[in-house]
A and B are shown apart, each in its own frame.
Chain A
């Protein structure tokens, strides 16, 4: 692995993801930000922050926040550069990527990176709003957002499912696994719901055939914040910074129908490839991953697009990994004795998916796991290297970050 990181995370804080009816965005962001500051072991002062990078998707329509930089300036009481990023579900991942560029360029020493979303404020209009993450012609064709992933899932099952019921079961197992992962995560939206079974998923309400409600991430409110610094000054703030070894953003067509293939996500493939090349790693060197499971099929795509499993083979391996698991901890994906544990806090499915916060939440989860601070939800094996994978829309953008604790 290369030894020169892009940036270092020195602190992280978040709210619980849930329907936070009584809080407005600034209360959530304030809470996450405060926790991030308080988590810095050796302390950091607010005026050491030289820039803010924020990810949010629907802030304009949901909360009528039109000028995030000015909004954040007021809330933080700072007059430093504030950069807002909107990239649908990858808004958070892109904010982190842009912040890394800010550090790598040498311009900033310390940056506050945050993501937030207040989806419950839009009630039943959110189903239309989510189509901002798609192409207008897809909206005109009657699609809702789950329907687009359902179209990918239909084609995947057509091309690779061999009419085998285990393919459907495997995609349900992803949801069951992620719910299993969330029950010890105190921040998770479905922490109190408890386990769900594969049968629960397969019998749940059909929202966009073949996608059911329990294949889908929920409507969530929440905020997450990180403080990142130049790697060389990170130890001034903490003895255990988590290093960002690679930060990648790639894009592809916003529209499903113009892509050559809809059974994989090219932007993911490109971003993973670039991140692995930059770090000198292979996918087999990654211990844990936070994958973008907005719908369970997307986690299956990640397993193939990242190269962990071959194209069209993920569902069989998911099925076998799930069926062979004995124990009560995290359920890993298996490949020739190698384990890759994905979505340790429950992922988008069970931890929650306040759209703009998700990419930052992934880094938060990894930060806690790699620092062995995940308490009851701490993975029960030694892990050092992690990948965060955040997708916007149906793959119009992907960000991939590789993070590590010990890099020498």
Chain B
């Protein structure tokens, strides 16, 4: 598909765009700019269905797909109706492995939720096509969340986290035996990649924050598994979530994709908090996303600890749920883990990744920040540390003098694996899910190459009001609808990323 067609399609497909005649109420997909009833006198309104719930009208299990969709093997394509069947849209049911024998009629009437997913790519070196014409079943892994903007009550306060969203895919793989404490891991479905994780986590963060999406003026996406070497995931996030004021199909917002191994996102937290307090910026909010389809060479020891998913934080000064109080970065050129341009998988320096790299940087930044602030360890209620596995963060926390009760909530790596750029943020999110007003959180990230930074947040009263809009890490970890796959499927889905 040519690039101009791709651009036109995404304007419709990212937001499930339809049009409605203001005179007679007729709705149209694909969007029409005159009404069949009213003709040239019609006035048409654009309507998007991005946050709506749909209904399965009819469909088929496609066992022998077109060449474009061969990578998905067997799947359900369907007609989905919206708004009491006033509008119908074709799409694909995602996160669903269709059994061979199934009565498709039994799907009719089921509620479905739009998902932003990868459709197909134009070959290894061509465009990747994404769409929101993919739907998960409501009675499956994901619940439907309503998006409602709430006027903030506590404005112009100290910069901090306004909301967050964690996206963990439905599918998991169990380790036969714990790999450095990691029991099971999340993995992408065949149509997911870093960009889709970034969008889904960003969507959840917007719902949780209850802010107006067009007041977000900057978006950072940190990752080490970007689907493109050149073309930012951030721009896709902005286009899908409509971040910034809209004009001519674009948005008055900016951002960047960043790379610093696993701390590509956390490094930008200070920038996000700084920007919202900087008058020239003129935006109210900044989104920081850490997302990865964490890569590891097949059979390598990392192949038993890597996970997949994304976490988005929104920073601002209104209705903040946790203020950002302290920050300290620490960096050195330490070659413990790297991937050369053009190589599929990263390489690591074995035992060198431990003491001279991870522990040195993490512990130095934690201890020094604590010392600089004058806070005692027991002033900290929770500790979130980058978790390449379940042993390193425990050892680092203990070296810095913290106790199990302070760091255990953040040890989600055991059940989701190492999310790379999302790892520290997933630990932080698990803590925010349960933190009480007034509690202090120390967060320390780590990125190979190497660097760490530590942040201290203080939780505010707003956290409890917004909690009902969260899908917690625990809910996702323990979701009874999560589905396990074997190693073969895990490798296959993980590597579709390269196609």
Contacts and interface: CB of A to CB of B under 8 A. Distances in A.
A binds B: yes
B97 interface: no
A158 B105 contact: yes
B91 interface: yes
B66 A141 contact: no
B75 interface: yes
Interface string A137-158: 1111111101110111011011
Interface stretch (A97-105, A253-261, A363-371): A253-261
A148 B62 CA distance: 10
B78 interface: yes
A137 B65 contact: no
A14 to B, nearest CB: 29
B192 to A, nearest CB: 15
A138 B88 CA distance: 12
Given A157-B105, A161-B105, A257-B90, A139 B58 contact: no
Nearest to B80: A257
A154 B90 contact: no
16 contacts: A127-B65, A128-B66, A140-B9, A142-B65, A142-B66, A142-B68, A142-B119, A143-B90, A144-B65, A147-B77, A151-B60, A155-B108, A161-B105, A208-B61, A258-B28, A258-B29
Nearest to A141: B90
A146 B61 CA distance: 10
A169 to B, nearest CB: 15
A200 to B, nearest CB: 17
Nearest to B68: A128
A142 B13 CA distance: 14
A206 interface: yes
Given A142-B75, A143-B77, A158 B58 contact: yes
B88 A257 contact: yes
A212 to B, nearest CB: 10
B92 interface: yes
Contacts, number: 118
A209 interface: yes
A258 B31 CA distance: 11
A141 B191 CA distance: 13
B153 interface: no
Interface of B: 9, 13, 28-30, 57-69, 72, 75, 77-79, 88-92, 98, 100, 102-105, 108, 119, 129, 131, 133
Given A137-B90, A140-B133, A154 B62 contact: no
A141 B77 contact: yes
Given A137-B90, A147-B77, A155 B58 contact: yes
Given A151-B78, A208-B64, A142 B100 contact: no
A131 interface: yes
Contact of B63 (A148, A206, A257): A206
Nearest to B67: A128
Interface string A192-225: 0000000000000111111100000000000000
B239 to A, nearest CB: 17
A182 interface: no
B104 A210 contact: yes
A125 interface: yes
A256 B79 contact: yes
Closest 4 CB pairs of A and B: A150-B60, A209-B61, A155-B58, A141-B90
B410 to A, nearest CB: 39
A135 interface: yes
B119 A140 contact: yes
A147 B68 contact: no
A209 B64 contact: no
B496 to A, nearest CB: 14
B64 A207 contact: yes
Nearest to A125: B67
B72 A142 contact: yes
Contact of A209 (B29, B91, B104, B129): B104
Interface in A103-147: 124-125, 127-128, 131, 135, 137-144, 146-147
Given A141-B90, A155-B58, A210-B60, 15 more contacts: A127-B65, A137-B133, A140-B9, A143-B62, A143-B77, A143-B90, A144-B64, A144-B65, A147-B77, A148-B60, A151-B78, A207-B64, A208-B61, A255-B90, A257-B79
**Counting chain B CB atoms within 10 Å of each CB, which of A124, A125, A154, A262 scores highest?**
A154
B420 to A, nearest CB: 29
A144 B58 contact: no
A133 B66 CA distance: 14
A208 B63 contact: yes
A125 B66 CA distance: 8
A257 B91 CA distance: 10
A209 B102 contact: yes
Contacts of A262: 58, 79
Contact of A140 (B59, B105, B131): B131
B58 A142 contact: no
A187 to B, nearest CB: 28
B99 to A, nearest CB: 10
Contacts of B30: 137
B67 A257 contact: no
B69 A151 contact: no
Nearest to A205: B63
B61 A206 contact: yes
Contacts of A151: 58-60, 77-79
Contact of A208 (B13, B60, B105): B60
Nearest to A155: B58
Contacts of A158: 58, 105, 108
Interface in A143-179: 143-144, 146-148, 150-152, 154-155, 157-158, 161
Nearest to A148: B60
Contacts of A206: 61, 63, 100
A135 B9 CA distance: 13
A204 to B, nearest CB: 12
A60 to B, nearest CB: 17
Given A257-B88, A258-B29, A208 B58 contact: no
A211 B63 CA distance: 10
